Chains A and B, each alone.
Chain A
Amino acid sequence: MNVFRLAGDMSHLLAIIILLLKIWKTRSCAGISGRSQLLFALTYTARYLDLVTNWVSLYNTVMKVFFIATSYATIYLMYLKFKATYDSNHDTFRVEFLLLPVTILALVLNHEFSFMEILWTFSIYLEAVAILPQLFMVSKTGEAESITSHYLFALGSYRLLYIFNWIWRYYTEEYYDLIAIIAGVVQTVLYCDFFYLYFTKVLKGKKLQLPA
């Protein structure tokens, strides 16, 4: 554990808390992509099956349980409790265009051809692109509420901080995992355009609005 890794995890935690609070307080999930949230739930389910086979630490277990539980809680709020506020007309990204290539890639490019390892690899590749339906939704509607922007910023920062963590680990432990690193870089790059808008607009008190 190093400071970048901890900051990354805290940023991830914060993103989820912001999202759940936004939905709960406003009693609405307007502007949030249910498809991205489904992909995140699938990501954590596939990755954290090792909860039962691989004990790392109490921290690790608590975080994994939190990520799985909150991803399903988000889906419950969006598709059941506050379904009437879900903006499904704008949430139209075709997820099969992500799931199919990600599945094939996980079967071909992995560390070991075993059930758990392929599920882990699948989750790493899927997480990298899971935010695309959400970013597509923002570009389709041309805007995002400030709270949604803060959520996206915290979520994007998480993988960026993990990249610093991987650089740190490479120099201090000679540890590196190419699959995680490459997917993590792709994931972070997808946020670059959003980061730019966040710094130039949202932080100056303006709403995130794309040019028409």
Chain B
Amino acid sequence: DDDAPKKDEL
């Protein structure tokens, strides 16, 4: 899902 927030944090 492109709308899911991108998880770039740890």
Contacts and interface: CB of A to CB of B under 8 A. Distances in A.
Interface of A: 5, 9, 12, 50, 54, 56-57, 60, 63-64, 67, 111-112, 114, 117, 120, 162, 165, 177, 180
8 contacts: A9-B10, A50-B7, A54-B7, A60-B8, A64-B10, A111-B5, A117-B4, A162-B9
A47 B3 CA distance: 18
B interface, over-half SS: loop
Nearest to B3: A112
A interface, over-half SS: helix
* Contact-size category for B: under 10
B1 A56 contact: no
Given A56-B6, A57-B8, A165-B9, 18 more contacts: A5-B9, A9-B10, A12-B10, A50-B7, A54-B7, A56-B8, A60-B8, A64-B10, A67-B10, A111-B4, A112-B3, A112-B4, A114-B1, A114-B4, A117-B4, A120-B7, A162-B9, A177-B5
B1 to A, nearest CB: 7
Contacts of B7: 50, 54, 56, 120
Contacts of B1: 112, 114
Nearest to B8: A56
B4 to A, nearest CB: 6
